[in-house]
């Protein structure tokens, strides 16, 4: 009886180990944060990113006004990420944006991505956390 209980405990512990493994590409998931020129003028962001086995694809601000991200590149030597897309500015005019940042805290589930943001003539910084 004691052997069976010990065997059951070992089996349950072994089944729990795979859940501690990394869940896939470090950019895969939902990211939330903001961008802006200063601390008082911020614009909320949500990115949904996915590794398709070949490249990272994604959507910005999912919903009726979602923006498909046009180009996402990763420099794996430095974990620098560049994200480009076409959205609209506050007046509703088309505006190309570029976000370039560094992926930090790779071992954490809540890793961060922060850097510079430019959208049309506006420039600022951004910071996002994976939810």
Give the tens place of pLDDT for each residue, 38-81.
999 999 999 999 999 899 999 999 998 899 999 999 999 999 99
**pLDDT at position 71, please?**
96
Cβ(85)–Cβ(93) below 8 Å? no
pTM over 0.85: no
Q: How far apart are the C-alpha atoms of 94 and 29, rounded to whole Å?
A: 27
Task: Tell me the domains of the chain and their CATH numbers.
Answer: 23-130 (2.40.128)
Q: What is the dihedral of CA 96, 72, 102, 37, to 10 degrees?
A: 10
Q: How far apart are the C-alpha atoms of 18 and 36, rounded to whole Å?
A: 40
**pLDDT at position 23, please?**
60
pLDDT digits (tens, 9 = 90+) for 80-115: 999 999 998 878 889 999 999 999 999 899 999 999
pLDDT digits (tens, 9 = 90+) for 18-31: 444 446 799 999 99
Question: Which residues, in sequence order, are CB contacts of 72 under 8 Å at separation 6+?
Answer: 27, 49, 55, 56, 57, 58, 81, 82, 83, 84
**pLDDT at position 120, please?**
86
């Amino acid at each position: 009886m004691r052997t069976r209980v010990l065997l059951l405990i070992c089996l349950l512990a072994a089944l729990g180990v795979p859940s501690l493994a990394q869940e896939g590409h470090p950019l895969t998931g939902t990211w939330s944060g903001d961008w802006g020129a200063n601390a008082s003028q911020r614009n909320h962001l949500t990115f949904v990113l996915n590794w398709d086995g070949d490249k990272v694809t994604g959507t910005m601000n999912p919903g009726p006004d979602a923006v498909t991200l046009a180009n996402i590149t990763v420099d794996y030597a430095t974990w620098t990420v560049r994200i480009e897309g076409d959205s609209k500015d506050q007046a509703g005019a088309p505006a190309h944006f570029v976000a370039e940042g560094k992926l930090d805290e790779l071992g954490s589930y809540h890793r961060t991505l922060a850097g510079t943001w430019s959208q049309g003539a506006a420039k600022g910084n951004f910071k996002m956390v994976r939810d």
